[in-house]
Structure 1
Amino acid sequence: MYTIGQVAKFLGVSRDTLKFYEEKELVKPKQNSENGYREYNRFDIYDITTVNFYREMDIEIKKIQELRKGKSIEGIQSLFEEKMQEVVEEIEYKKLLVKKLQTVQEDCEKVKKFLGTYTIQEMKPIEVKGEIEHHTAYDKYEIIKDNLDNLKQAVTLTSLRRVIQFNEEGVQEDKFIIVKKVEDLDKEIAGEILSHPKCLYTVIEDGRWSTGGKNTDHKVEASLKKAAKENGYELLGLVYINQLLTTYEDGLERAFLEIFVPIK
């Protein structure tokens, strides 16, 4: 017979772990009636090593408890197949997370490099999954709920992109579209594809910290038109706005927006 200290030492587990296994009825050592100490026999040690084996495979305690009640080889095989699928899905999620983190790092570089400057860039293809007529059209947010899977897969801070259509008389349409980055144009895509090979591109700062909560659309519009005129660009009457990053200063949000303005 072995004490809890001896078992903990040669199996490399803590006393608390052994007590936890006992609470979950995964091991049932006898208690010495004279001194009240737990006494483990070789079958208890076998149970502990078996539990450790399944825990190393990250099998939940509840399922190990079910195993103790009896499980066929086929049942065990099914259990591990289920666990394998969970692990594969987790790996895919981690890959996506790495991609998102890389994108955020790239967005930080965009803010540092392009804030307040104007260059010519391509707006790469995006798939339109739905649209909201205006940011105040809350009844339309069911569209977002219907596209939750797409939103989770989007490798951006947000999958909502603001689209403004204008002419010489002013803004004609202001809406939001739900988008997903197109990774492979050769694959069949259900939604409309938007892309513009040549855009006037800039990054601006928005948010209450820099604007005091005021709408600055007219200032941005004037700045874009001025940059286009100075460089001889002809605007196509569209503006695409994508939120890159949001941070805080003195408790107020600082939002950095990426702007694509298609030109001829």
Structure 2
Amino acid sequence: MMPAPPATNTTKGFVLVVEDDAALRLLLEHSLQQRGYQVHTVADAEQALAFLEGTKPDVALLDWMMPGLSGLELCRIIRQKPGLKDLPILFLTARTEEQDLINGLDHGADAYLTKPCSADKLDARLRALLRRARPSQDQISFGPLLLEPENHHVTRAGRVITLGPTEYRLLEILIRQPRKVFSRELLLERIWGANVHVELRTVDVHIRRLRKALNEPGEADLIRTVRSAGYALDDSRTEHDVSPSAPTAP
């Protein structure tokens, strides 16, 4: 892998990395985060399946050879799950035999790269998969909210909303899975990464800013705070609960 360029504020997509080599896993995480991806890493197929029970990433990056279930078997299992049949899957493998690579594609993989590969080449392949997976997703809507990922444009009932980069990333995470409750810990990991120490209270601060930007006087609050759990984008209620044991919600 080549050194990554400076970080940007662009969120290209959410990548699940499944890699048993700890050093390579950390390198992939750092490189992808620097290129603007949200990243979650796991060390084996079992951890990947547990994660996928509750969260669907935009693309999965799988190692082929892993202890326990192989990446090939993991790919086959993912393709059997109704909610994951369309998940883009990219193999990162040391295998170079043509029949092996054909076998991977036959099991449901969308593409593969052989190790070692440059970070730029990996980035280009991921972007191609994401474009294919979202060919017409130039807008994401929820209730009165409309988000345009290509230009980071956000409106509410036609009113333009100006957001800082962190508030935009929060909104994009929430609006891609509306009504799903995200814990503060998960939001921290999605935005800042698992290996960066950031106080939980930081999430509350940015949620407060997001609420202030989204909601004008008289408008329903679209962000719900769930007691002892976290936050969700939800238009089914206007009140939000606050847990006495959790940091005071915005």
TM range (shorter): under 0.3
- Structure of larger gyration radius: 1
Q: Of Structure 1 and Structure 2, which has the larger fraction of its residues in helix? A: 1
Higher RCO (C-alpha under 8 Å, 6+ residues apart): 1
Q: Of Structure 1 and Structure 2, which has the larger fraction of its residues in strand? A: 1
Name the TM-score, length of structure 1 as normaliser: 0.17
Name the TM-score, length of structure 2 as normaliser: 0.18
